[in-house]
Structure 1
């Protein structure tokens, strides 16, 4: 039984990691196509990627949109979760359901709805429009994670701070935020990751200033290339570094 468990674990990890491993390996392909066999090892494609101005601009755009939209969704989700956890109002369950509902809607439907709405109010397809779209899809996630982390202990501490004369801003900033730091960090980086990787909304709501997934899609239209593998490998490396840094600092500290 133990051997079967290990075999299942190895098979599951292989199923998940094998595509990533192939992506990284053939990003070093010394040839025009990222397919077996591996003809040789070269850093040529990484050099081309890092010197590609359009790709670097798309990278900066993705970082900017992901950071701003994730931070906005986190703040709004934190405030909503704090308010609904503090006071039980008639219809609170409906309010929570309305906040979480966008998680059940297809990104394509969200993008089309936003595209029509922005057209009515005069907002043109841009990074701003994309950022708003990412807030829409990430706000429910930030709210759900934060609300789930607010237990009776947190509620008692927040109530005690108010009874001692702290203003609402002070309660949220100096008491609630530090107590919920691991949950807030998890919500922020999940929202950042989802925004960083998101394609459909970014594709429909941008025109000239595009994000990295849209630029990669444009590269794929001309066919497979080790350059696209190099871009994917760099994105994976950045995500891995962030994950390891969080695990070694914030999350490990919060578990003590």
Structure 2
């Protein structure tokens, strides 16, 4: 009976990581199809995608949108969390609920709503509009993470700083932001991860300059290829790198 939990854990890990393992394995396939038997290892598909201008451009677009939208979402989430945690506002509970509510809404509905608003406003579809969409979906998450980290410890330090004559701007910049840095970094890296592989909103809110998930979707229409496995492996590598960076910068620092 003692082995049963370990067997369950092993089965869970196999269920989660077997598709990723197959993806990475057949990205080194020497043949033209990512199916058994394995013919490799070969790096030809990595050389192929690294030399593909469209794929590299889409990769750069994904990074730009993820980093820019996550930075804006964290900044707005911090302002909202600070305002609601440090000031008594009428209907603050309702405001918090409205800020978190988009987490329960499908990305398809959010994307369609943004598409209608943007077209009514006469704004052309671009990477900037995709970034706006990512701010909309990531802002509630950033707000929830930062608001949850605002406890009595930060509030007491802020009061002490004010008693010593610090201005409100100095209190925020020198006390609040450094103390909330782990939560803000966690919100930022999680937003980057979610924005990095988001498809629906980018598909609806861009036209010519697309991100990597949209580029992968367009390539899928011509059938499976080891090139897709190589691209997926690179995306997985970037996601893992983000998680490791989060571990090194945030969680290890807190311990």
- After superposition, residues 49-198 of structure 1 pair within 5 angstroms as 49-198=49-198
Q: 1:28, 1:226 within 8 Å by CA — same for their partners in 2?
A: yes
Unaligned segments of structure 1, at least 5 residues: none
Q: 2:146, 2:180 within 8 Å by CA — same for their partners in 1?
A: yes
Equivalent residue of 1:34, what SS? coil
- Aligned-residue offset at 1:182: 1.2
Alignment: residue pair count: 255
Equivalent residue of 1:115, what SS? helix
Equivalence for 2:230: 230
Distance across 2 between alignment mates of 1:14 and 1:89: 49
Q: 1:85, 1:155 within 8 Å by CA — same for their partners in 2?
A: no
TM-score, normalization by structure 2: 0.97
Structure 1 runs of 4+ with >3 Å offset? none
- Aligned-residue offset at 1:164: 2.5
Equivalent residue of 2:27, what SS? helix
Distance across 1 between alignment mates of 2:165 and 2:79: 20
Q: 2:186, 2:250 within 8 Å by CA — same for their partners in 1?
A: no
Distance across 2 between alignment mates of 1:243 and 1:31: 32
Distance across 1 between alignment mates of 2:125 and 2:117: 11
Q: 1:33, 1:224 within 8 Å by CA — same for their partners in 2?
A: yes
The answer to whether residue 37 in structure 2 is matched with residue 37 in structure 1 is yes
The answer to whether residue 253 in structure 2 is matched with residue 253 in structure 1 is yes
Per-residue CA deviation, residues 36-65 of structure 1 (Å, 9 max, x unaligned), is 111221100000010000010001001000
Distance across 2 between alignment mates of 1:139 and 1:112: 18
Distance across 2 between alignment mates of 1:139 and 1:168: 24
Moved more, 10-19 or 65-74: 10-19
RMSD of aligned Cα (Å): 1.1
